Amino acid sequence: MSASSVKVNRKENSNHDGAEETSEKEQQEAIEHIDEVQNEIDRLNEQASEEILKVEQKYNKLRQPFFQKRSELIAKIPNFWVTTFVNHPQVSALLGEEDEEALHYLSRVEVTEFEDIKSGYRIDFYFDENPYFENKALSKEFNVNESGDPVSKSTEIKWKAGKDLTKRSGQTPNKAGKKRQHEEPESFFTWFTDHSDAGADELGEVIKDDIWPNPLQYYLVGSLSAAAPEKL
């Protein structure tokens, strides 16, 4: 190898090293700029969340008179809520025969989101005088504790003697005369005593996000099916 070629290679290596140094410096500067831009994006996202929350709060208040009017109209329809629950695929899966009988006394359901919305909500069930429990109302509330963890609490059900549906036999006859098998005694009303996973309470979320916005669509499921013409 000639001396001249060695000199050229050394020069090339020197240029390559310089290019790497420049590239690393540019990358570091780019990373710093990306971080600055990301901070701006995060700031806008936080601002958007605050504004969206204000809009939700505004329209939540505007909806209240209509929810009240709807409740007054629903009160004129016998068995509206039990029919709605029975027609809902997820809720009906939780209902035993005796649960359905008890829910025939359910006269009103109310869902109340707390003012800041993000902190939680409450579901209230109002009952007429019934042979199962003394309570006129049963409630379950979802919120966050001081640590920011989701928690729930509910009304203690004052069962009448021998009527505690949460302690019923795990074998309950349904309307078809068959028997539903349960590994453990289950009831819709055990939901009021289950606080194991308040952050993922499926029944609460279904009632709040699916049924409450438009319960009529589930109430009408059976009647619409019956009214549908038979296919030839």
pLDDT score at 180: 45
Residue with tokens 């039990």: 82
pLDDT score at 212: 97
What stretches of the chain adopt beta strand conformation (E)?
Answer: 106-113, 121-127, 137-144, 150-154, 172-173, 179-180
What does the alpha-carbon distance between residue 17 and residue 86 come to, in Å, rounded to a whole number? 74
pLDDT score at 13: 53
pLDDT score at 108: 98
Chain centroid to Cα 220, Å, comes to 23
pLDDT score at 184: 43
How many residues are present in the chain? 232
Look at residue 140 and give its three-state secondary structure: strand
In this predicted model, what pLDDT tens digit does every residue of 8-44 receive, in sequence order? 454 455 555 555 667 888 999 999 999 999 999 999 9
What does the alpha-carbon distance between residue 150 and residue 197 come to, in Å, rounded to a whole number? 8
Q: Which amino acid appears at position 122 of this protein?
A: R
What does the alpha-carbon distance between residue 75 and residue 69 come to, in Å, rounded to a whole number? 10
pLDDT score at 112: 94
What is the reported pTM? 0.75
pLDDT score at 168: 73
Residues of the chain with pLDDT under 50: 2-8, 10-11, 171-185, 227-228, 231-232
Burial of 190 (0-12, 13-18, 19+ CB in 10 A): middle
DSSP conformation class of 135: -
